[in-house]
């Protein structure tokens, strides 16, 4: 008999902000071939349908139908967590939600309406997490399932409470931690929620050994509680797009925040331009470092060599991959790095930070410590000038990526579920 999995997620295609939504989609799609999957998320596109997955968006009528006529519970104060302001880009600042005197029955209607109109990121994210927790727990009590499967800190509170009420095992899947985003010194409310989720879970799935090591060091989680399941990639038709100006194109794709190392990309670019003047650098993404990067590029007199695209949809991203000559990931702390797999799939040679999870599954990419901009620049120059090296890296990393799939990831995840009592 197939296991029944209750997945808790925060974003899902086509309403995505980054890699979390893409990963949850890949996992849900492949896991649904092996188990019965129901997934609760804050916002779902009503036009988006997945075969074999019951997708419950709190913004849609299905959530309201599931709760109609039920005696509802309110869970606003079930965790002893010290609430402090915390800058948690890309999730923005979180603040404690004020308690409401409304009954749970009226409050859940307000909360459902809230998710119909509000963006899941930005503003009072912790307040949104608490609203999600209240509704998701009540919906969960209407479902039958064998395992609770929660993705990232925004769903951990719901997962913990569902476990306490049902006695079902809880597996938490960590795609990125507060330590990755803000450093080990920041013991914010998000860090506390993550730690509580790890402690209350029966098993933790990490997207890389890099993340597993981080959990052991900074959250004091025993190694035997963690299972590493690397991300997969979905096959897409790839193509190349020729440029007429003869310039080489070096691509950075990701949020422009300190975690992703955009300032190291700029420093690397300065060193590359000294040796290869006919090159252009594209930074695709947005974030709190954008203004600083533009100003710094102008001050260093390389502004004409840089192009900032802002946020791009998937089609535009594919067009960039099709034109790029080298892909660079200079992240300071990268739990995985799905975009590197996508770049390799498009036949782009990659230069990766050693401080990344994706480097574990792409051993043939060129690598450097994120701070070693001299070595990173040397790798880029070599890939632009040495066709033999370039072809070797393209072919071997393509081969690395061909061995990865969401189906393989889902099988590993199911094995984790099968170890639970």
Low-confidence ranges of the chain (pLDDT < 50): 77-78, 81-100
Distance CA(195)–CA(177), nearest Å, equals 10
CA 234 to chain CA centroid, Å, is 15
Helix axes 262-275, 290-299, angle to 10 degrees: 30
Q: What is the pLDDT of residues 349-390, one digit of tens each?
A: 999 999 999 999 999 999 999 999 999 999 999 999 999 999
* pLDDT at residue number 144: 96
Q: What is the DSSP letter of 356?
A: B
Cis peptide bond upstream of 90, omega within 30: yes
CA 336 to chain CA centroid, Å, is 8
Instruction: State the Cα angle at 285 between 394 and 187, rounded to 5°.
Output: 105
Burial classification of residue 92, based on how many CB atoms lie within 10 Å of its CB (0-12 exposed, 13-18 middle, 19 or more buried): middle
* pLDDT at residue number 15: 76
- The label of the residue with tokens 């080990």 reads 184
Question: 59: which strand partners?
Answer: none
Distance CA(202)–CA(37), nearest Å, equals 19
Distance CA(330)–CA(333), nearest Å, equals 9
* pLDDT at residue number 83: 43
* pLDDT at residue number 103: 56
DSSP-derived 3-state class of residue 32:
coil
pTM over 0.75: yes
Which domains are seen in the chain, by residue range? 4-232+406-418 (3.40.50.2000), 248-402 (3.40.50.2000)
- Evaluated on CA atoms 306, 269, 321, 342, the torsion sign reads negative
CA separation (Å) from 206 to 198, 227, 276?
Answer: 11, 6, 39
- Evaluated on CA atoms 410, 412, 415, 416, the torsion sign reads negative
Tokens found for residue 271 = 């060193």
Distance CA(143)–CA(6), nearest Å, equals 8
Distance CA(154)–CA(372), nearest Å, equals 34
User: Which contiguous run of DSSP H or E holds residue 248?
Assistant: strand 248-253
């Amino acid at each position: 008999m197939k296991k029944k999995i209750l997945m808790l997620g925060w974003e899902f295609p086509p309403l995505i902000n980054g890699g979390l939504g893409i990963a949850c989609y890949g996992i849900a799609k492949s896991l649904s071939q092996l188990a019965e999957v129901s997934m609760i998320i804050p916002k779902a596109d009503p036009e988006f349908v997945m075969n074999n997955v019951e997708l419950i968006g709190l913004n849609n009528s299905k959530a309201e139908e599931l709760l109609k006529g039920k005696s509802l519970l309110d869970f606003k104060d079930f965790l002893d967590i010290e609430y402090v302001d915390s800058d948690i880009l890309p999730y923005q600042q979180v603040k404690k939600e004020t308690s409401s005197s409304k009954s749970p029955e009226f409050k859940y209607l307000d909360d459902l309406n809230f998710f119909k109109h509000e963006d899941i990121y930005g503003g009072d994210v912790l307040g949104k997490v608490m609203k999600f927790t209240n509704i998701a727990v009540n919906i969960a009590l209407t479902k039958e399932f064998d395992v609770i499967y929660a993705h990232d800190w925004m769903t951990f509170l719901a997962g913990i409470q569902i476990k306490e009420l049902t006695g079902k095992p809880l597996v938490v899947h960590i795609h990125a931690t507060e330590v990755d985003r803000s450093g080990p010194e920041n013991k914010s409310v998000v860090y506390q929620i993550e730690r509580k989720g790890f402690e209350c879970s029966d098993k933790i799935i990490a997207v890389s050994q890099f993340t597993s090591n981080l959990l052991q060091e900074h959250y004091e989680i025993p190694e035997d509680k963690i299972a590493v399941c690397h991300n997969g990639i979905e096959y897409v038709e790839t193509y190349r797009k020729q440029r007429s100006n003869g310039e080489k194109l070096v691509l950075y794709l990701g949020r422009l925040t300190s975690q992703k190392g955009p300032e190291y990309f700029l420093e690397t670019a300065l060193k590359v331009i000294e040796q290869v003047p006919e090159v252009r650098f594209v930074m695709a993404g947005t974030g709190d470092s954008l203004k600083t990067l533009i100003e710094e590029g102008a001050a260093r007199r390389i502004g004409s060599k840089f192009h900032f695209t802002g946020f791009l949809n998937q089609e535009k991203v594919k067009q960039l991959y099709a034109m790029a000559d080298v892909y660079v990931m200079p992240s300071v702390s990268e739990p995985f790095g799905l975009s590197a797999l996508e770049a390799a799939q498009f036949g782009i040679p990659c230069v990766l930070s050693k401080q990344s999870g994706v480097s574990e599954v792409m051993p043939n990419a060129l690598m450097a410590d994120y701070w070693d901009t001299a070595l990173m620049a040397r790798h880029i120059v070599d890939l632009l000038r040495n066709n033999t090296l370039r072809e070797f890296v393209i072919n071997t990393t393509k081969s690395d990526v061909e061995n990865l799939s969401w189906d393989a990831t889902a099988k590993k995840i199911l094995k984790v579920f099968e170890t639970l009592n």
